[in-house]
Structure 1
Amino acid sequence: MVTTMKPSRPLDMNVSDIPTFVVALAIAHAQEHGVPPERLLSGTGLNLDDIKNAGILISFRQAATIIRRMVRAIPDEPAGLAVGAKGALGSFGILGLAMLSSINIREAVAIGLTHHKEAGSLMDFSSELRGDEFAFILHERFPQPELLPFLCEEALSSIISLLRLALGEQVAPRRVEFSYAPPSYAEACGRFFQCPVHFGRAANRMVLDAALLDIPLTTSSPAILASSLKASVQALPVAEPMPDLVTSVESVLRGNLRERPTMTRVAAELNITERTLRRGLEAAGQSFSGIRDRLLERQARLLLEQPGQPIAAIAVELGFSDAREFRRAFHRWTGEAPSRFRQELPRADSE
């Protein structure tokens, strides 16, 4: 029996739809080897605060750029194994908690196959049950030959780490198979998985004893399972994901709202020309000024919700020359004055 999870919409490597969990662990691993985050993030439109923000989504293109730079900076290093083993809950986030709260491994696997993208996975998964063997099979979302070892090793090492967290360190696959040639650290793969590891095979997969599927979990909790699954789904935006060029512009502007960086400066930070930036935004149905105004309005609303903040101080914080200019802009965005918006806010002592 084979179970495959199909994408809900056509794949686009430039769409920001991936949580940053795995990329954050990769950057932390690179830092441990003396590689500064700025070297990995340059030109991606992202900064370290973005990567640490669980509410930020990035594109596969951005993730691949960061990981490619890490792999090149520390060659011959089993980075995928290290990142996947950093902590199963670190890789899977809230989804890992949901899986550990399942009735048994079978239910945990079903949850993981259904919701793995919510944990920031960079590979797609299917499962296969044949006789007394159960296998996790990996599928490339976008072909990336240079990154394939990292992506496969990170995915399978995070899965086995979660199984060991649930059932004990003695858990080992029957065998692991990779489609690529043996890397220089091939022996480290055998030590980590504690089983035969084969390279140059037809598929990327990890085969386990099917009897593991029906082992009950001592950490099972229906209440935690329900709440963590709900939180995992709610962590992703309801709106259609934006192209990564738009989210990259938002990231640069968000960190410099008071300075009001120009399109020329933003384009330079993204390592593209201003003309390319303008055309890209037009293709996405966006404009530079529209993105800037959207961010300014959002920040203005947040600041106005703080009762101790004078409107004049908010105007300065947002880069306006004076309170009058800010009032005009806020009225243009919302159709009402800042003072009116503040008056309509719920009182802290209201029921």
Structure 2
Amino acid sequence: MTASSDRPVGDTAVGDAAASRSIVSVQLLVRLAQDYGVDGRTCLQHTGLSSDDLADAHRLIDPAQELQVATNLVEALPDHPTLGLEAGKRYHLGIYGVWGFALATAPTPRALADIALRYLDLSFAFVRFKLALDQGTASVTLDDQAIPAPVRPFMLQRDFAAMVNALTEVMPGARPFQRIDLALASPQDTTAYEALCGQRPRFGQPRHRITFMDGFLDQALPRGDALIARACEDHCRRLLDRQRQRNGLAAQVRDRLLRTPHRMPSLVRVAEELHLSERSLRRHLQAEDTCFRALADEVRKALAIELLTKAGLKLDEIAGRLGYADAGSFIHAFKRWTGESPTQFRRQFWKD
């Protein structure tokens, strides 16, 4: 490969500030706060979120709400300079659904990086990542400048630790880093960094940059399966397309349906909550080229795909979580959506 000091292989922005995301990340941050003796209500101040919202695993939130939770956490625990690392270590691949499974089954670190960066909006990252090659040596630059200053170091630490965590899960025991440069002031105690990544970073550098060992990108990963990874990537693409397509009133209806997928409200009830008549809601949705039933099916299908990629869940359990009376009704609906049974779909992800 020809030399290039800044040739991007993959690049993704922090994300669309208007895009919704799962509340799972906020749940992890609140649990971290509670482990340090901070009440959950303190974390939720100025977010518009309640304890009931926090208990709803399907609740969608705005990125700004998560940033406010992180800000509250940092303000409540100012004497913990590596708190972000503690947070990031709690982000395991299993919490990301199909995106995490795609990373877990990538055949090489190069394929993993491509999927991770291409579909980063399906994760919880706020940091902007760029992968570059220079005469065969790979490095990742972390750009945190779009993150509000009060919470920037915390988020940089969190997303860095989550990245290291992902690599550790797919390559247990590996030490892939040649050098770690961070544009942060050095803490008095660097033990947390050394325990996480196997070396002491160089602090006070011009930018955040992680350089990998030569040849790292093309090592075979122990759980790699190119066929499964491609199937997962296909679902990631569809999930991201849906996430970007829905806006306006359709997005509001979809978000409302996601709050209680086990007990979806009727069109009449949603119209009342939106202060619209039933007829007006139908007309607005038609203008956005959709309808209430299509949105309900879209929500159930997306959640069904997520649940089917999780090991251990039986079909009747998934049916119950999606509001179906029994597994038979769910199987019939899933075949209508995808043309295959849930069992056939699941075989793409889990080997016997």
Closer, same or farther in 2 for the Cα pair 1:191/1:53, shift >3 Å?
A: same
Structure 1 equivalent of residue 88 of structure 2: 84
C-alpha distance in structure 1 between counterparts of 2:149 and 2:227, whole Å:
42
C-alpha distance in structure 2 between counterparts of 1:50 and 1:164, whole Å:
32
Structure 1 equivalent of residue 177 of structure 2: 173
Closer, same or farther in 2 for the Cα pair 1:53/1:201, shift >3 Å?
A: farther
C-alpha distance in structure 2 between counterparts of 1:57 and 1:115, whole Å:
18
Task: Find the partner of 1:45 among 36, 45, 48.
Answer: 48
Task: Find the partner of 1:75 among 78, 91, 101.
Answer: 78
Which amino acid in structure 1 is aligned with residue 226 of structure 2? P
Structure 2 equivalent of residue 155 of structure 1: 159
Task: Find the partner of 1:122 among 108, 120, 126.
Answer: 126
C-alpha distance in structure 2 between counterparts of 1:54 and 1:234, whole Å:
21
C-alpha distance in structure 1 between counterparts of 2:93 and 2:132, whole Å:
24
The answer to whether 1:144 aligns with 2:148 is: yes
Aligned to 2:20, the other structure's residue is in SS state strand
The answer to whether 1:300 aligns with 2:266 is: yes
Task: Find the partner of 2:220 among 194, 216, 221.
Answer: 216
Deviation (angstroms), 1:201: 0.7
Report matched runs for 1:145-294 at 5 Å: 145-236=149-240, 237-241=243-247
C-alpha distance in structure 1 between counterparts of 2:183 and 2:96, whole Å:
24
Which amino acid in structure 2 is aligned with residue 33 of structure 1? Y
Q: Deviations over 1:96-130 (max 9, x none)?
A: 21012112111111111111121121111101222
Deviation (angstroms), 1:54: 5.8
Deviation (angstroms), 1:75: 2.5
Which amino acid in structure 2 is aligned with residue 110 of structure 1? D
Closer, same or farther in 2 for the Cα pair 1:70/1:155, shift >3 Å?
A: same
- 1:94–1:232 Cα contact (<8 Å) kept: yes
Task: Find the partner of 1:32 among 35, 58, 76.
Answer: 35
C-alpha distance in structure 1 between counterparts of 2:282 and 2:58, whole Å:
25
Which amino acid in structure 2 is aligned with residue 139 of structure 1? D
C-alpha distance in structure 2 between counterparts of 1:101 and 1:52, whole Å:
30
C-alpha distance in structure 2 between counterparts of 1:230 and 1:55, whole Å:
22
- 1:22–1:120 Cα contact (<8 Å) kept: yes
Gaps of 5+ in 2: 284-291, 294-327, 337-352
Task: Find the partner of 2:135 among 131, 136, 153.
Answer: 131
Aligned to 2:119, the other structure's residue is in SS state helix
Deviation (angstroms), 1:147: 1.8
- 1:135–1:206 Cα contact (<8 Å) kept: yes
C-alpha distance in structure 1 between counterparts of 2:94 and 2:58, whole Å:
15
Larger radius of gyration: 1
Structure 2 equivalent of residue 108 of structure 1: 112
Which amino acid in structure 2 is aligned with residue 94 of structure 1? V
Deviation (angstroms), 1:158: 1.4
Deviation (angstroms), 1:200: 1.2
Structure 2 equivalent of residue 262 of structure 1: none
Which amino acid in structure 2 is aligned with residue 46 of structure 1? L
Aligned-pair identity in percent equals 20
Q: Which moved more, 1:146-155 or 1:200-209?
A: 146-155
Deviation (angstroms), 1:24: 2.8
Closer, same or farther in 2 for the Cα pair 1:127/1:54, shift >3 Å?
A: farther
Closer, same or farther in 2 for the Cα pair 1:108/1:333, shift >3 Å?
A: closer
- 1:94–1:231 Cα contact (<8 Å) kept: yes
Closer, same or farther in 2 for the Cα pair 1:332/1:22, shift >3 Å?
A: closer
- 2:92–2:165 Cα contact (<8 Å) kept: yes
Closer, same or farther in 2 for the Cα pair 1:124/1:41, shift >3 Å?
A: same
Gaps of 5+ in 1: 256-297, 305-317, 320-327, 336-340
Q: Deviations over 1:274-327 (max 9, x none)?
A: xxxxxxxxxxxxxxxxxxxxxxxx7124999xxxxxxxxxxxxx89xxxxxxxx
Aligned to 1:210, the other structure's residue is in SS state coil
- 2:267–2:278 Cα contact (<8 Å) kept: no
- 1:137–1:205 Cα contact (<8 Å) kept: yes
Structure 2 equivalent of residue 98 of structure 1: 102
- 2:43–2:73 Cα contact (<8 Å) kept: yes
C-alpha distance in structure 2 between counterparts of 1:240 and 1:67, whole Å:
27
C-alpha distance in structure 2 between counterparts of 1:333 and 1:202, whole Å:
53
Report matched runs for 1:314-333 at 5 Å: 330=278, 333=281
Closer, same or farther in 2 for the Cα pair 1:216/1:54, shift >3 Å?
A: farther
Deviation (angstroms), 1:88: 2.6
Q: Which moved more, 1:122-131 or 1:164-173?
A: 164-173
Task: Find the partner of 2:11 among 5, 25, 29.
Answer: 5
C-alpha distance in structure 2 between counterparts of 1:225 and 1:134, whole Å:
22
